Amino acid sequence: MTDLHPVRRALLSVSDKTGLIELGKALAARGVELLSTGGSAKALRDAGLTVKDVSEVTGFPEMMDGRVKTLHPMVHGGLLALRDNDTHVAAMNEHGIGAIDLLVVNLYPFEAALARGAGYDEMIENIDIGGPAMIRAASKNHLFVNVVTDVQDYEALLAELDANDGQTSYPFRQRLSQIAYARTAAYDAAVSNWMASAIDEKTPRRRAFAGELKQTLRYGENSHQEAAFYTDGSNRPGVATAVQLQGKELSYNNINDTDAAYELVAEFDPAESPAVAIIKHANPCGVAKGATLAEAYQKAFDCDRTSAFGGIVALNQPLDAETAAKITEIFTEVVIAPGASEEAKEIFAAKKNLRLLLTDGLPDPRKPIVAYKQVAGGMLVQDKDVGYVGMEDLKVVTEKAPSEAQMQDLLFAWKVAKHVKSNAIVYVKDNATVGVGAGQMSRLDSANVAAAKAGRMAAELGLKESLAKGCAVASDAFFPFADGLLEAAAAGGACVIQPGGSMRDDEVIKAANDKGLAMVFTGMRHFRH
Give catalytic residue positions.
140, 281
Looking at 370-504, list the stretches that DSSP marks H as alpha helix, in order from N- to C-terminal side. 404-417, 443-460, 482-491
Return left, alpha or beta for 312; rule: phi > 0 is left, psi -120 to 50 is alpha, else beta.
beta
Rounded CA separation 305/302 (Å): 6
Q: CB count, 10 Å around CB of 375?
A: 7
Q: CB count, 10 Å around CB of 111?
A: 21
Rounded CA separation 265/269 (Å): 9
Closest alpha carbon to 197 in 234, 239, 235: 234
Rounded CA separation 435/389 (Å): 22
Beta strand 395-396 with 518-521 is: antiparallel
**Amino acid (one-letter) located at 339:** G
Closest alpha carbon to 474 in 267, 274, 259: 267
Q: What three-state secondary structure class fits 70? A: coil
Rounded CA separation 191/198 (Å): 10
